[in-house]
């Protein structure tokens, strides 16, 4: 996958959504538009009918409806169906998700038995291009800007507290603002 395409379709959208106060989920976009489109195209070019990934989710075919269905993985604590929710029927028809039938501890045991280097790798919840989890810092570095600090102000114009730059907050956020619950009722 070319870096320019990834940057344009995933990273730039991530930044736009954050700048507008939204909560982006770049993994969803990457899975559908980059990872699965690219992998399926490559598989087709090489004469393969399916691709397999390590997502904790399952795909079944419903005979009654004639549609493929995306389902949670058996290990609900590791379920990743939410990042695959917008895959197309064509994509679902050509993917295999073997980990969806297993629990994480079973996968770890298999990896250990096979001497895989990542058998003991720590689980990650990070976005691949922001591994330290500092989204605001990433955006500031990417755009070469510093989002200024300012005041949280209620509807009557009262200053409720200070913020560290609006890029560090999303619409509807309630925690981590440094504002009391009583003050929040005034917003």
pLDDT tens for residues 30-72? 887 888 888 899 999 999 999 999 999 999 999 999 999 999 9
Q: What is the pLDDT of residue 121?
A: 79
Mean pLDDT across the chain, nearest whole number? 88
pLDDT of res. 2? 61
Domain range summary for the chain, segments of one domain joined by +: 3-141, 147-184
Give the tens place of pLDDT for each residue, 82-124.
Answer: 989 989 999 999 999 999 999 999 999 999 999 988 888 777 6
pLDDT for the residue 16: 93
pTM, rounded to two decimals? 0.73
What is the per-residue pLDDT for 123? 74
On the 0-12 / 13-18 / 19+ scale of CB atoms within 10 A, 126 is: exposed
The CATH number of domain 3-141 is 3.40.50.620: yes
Active site residues: 30, 128
* DSSP designation for 65: T
Q: State the DSSP string of 108-177.
A: HHHHHHTT-TTTTPPP--SBTTBTT--HHHHHHHHHT--PPPEEEE-TTS-EEEEES-GGG--TT--SSS
Closest by Cα among 56, 54, 92, 60 to 74 = 56
Give 145-186 pLDDT, tens digit per residue: 999 999 988 888 888 888 888 888 887 777 778 776 565 555
The answer to whether the beta carbons of residues 47 and 73 sit under 8 Å apart is: no
Beta bridge partners of 67: 62
CA atoms within 13 A on the CB side of 15: 17
d(CA 117, CA 44): 30
């Amino acid at each position: 996958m070319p870096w320019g395409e990834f940057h344009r379709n995933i990273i730039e959208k991530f930044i736009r959504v954050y700048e507008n106060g939204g909560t982006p989920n770049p993994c969803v976009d990457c899975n559908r538009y980059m990872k699965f489109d690219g992998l399926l195209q490559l598989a087709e070019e090489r004469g393969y009918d399916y691709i397999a990934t390590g997502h904790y989710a399952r795909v079944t075919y419903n005979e009654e409806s004639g549609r493929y269905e995306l389902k949670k993985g058996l290990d609900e604590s590791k379920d990743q169906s939410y990042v695959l929710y917008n895959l197309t029927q064509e994509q679902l028809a050509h993917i295999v998700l073997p980990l969806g039938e297993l629990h994480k501890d079973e996968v770890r045991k298999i990896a250990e038995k096979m001497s895989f280097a990542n058998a003991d790798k720590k689980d990650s919840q990070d976005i691949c291009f922001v591994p330290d989890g500092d989204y605001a810092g990433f955006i500031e570095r990417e755009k070469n800007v510093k989002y200024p600090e300012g005041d949280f102000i209620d509807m009557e114009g009262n200053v409720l507290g200070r913020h560290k730059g609006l890029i560090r907050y999303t619409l509807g956020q309630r925690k981590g603002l440094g504002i009391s619950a009583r003050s929040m009722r005034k917003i």
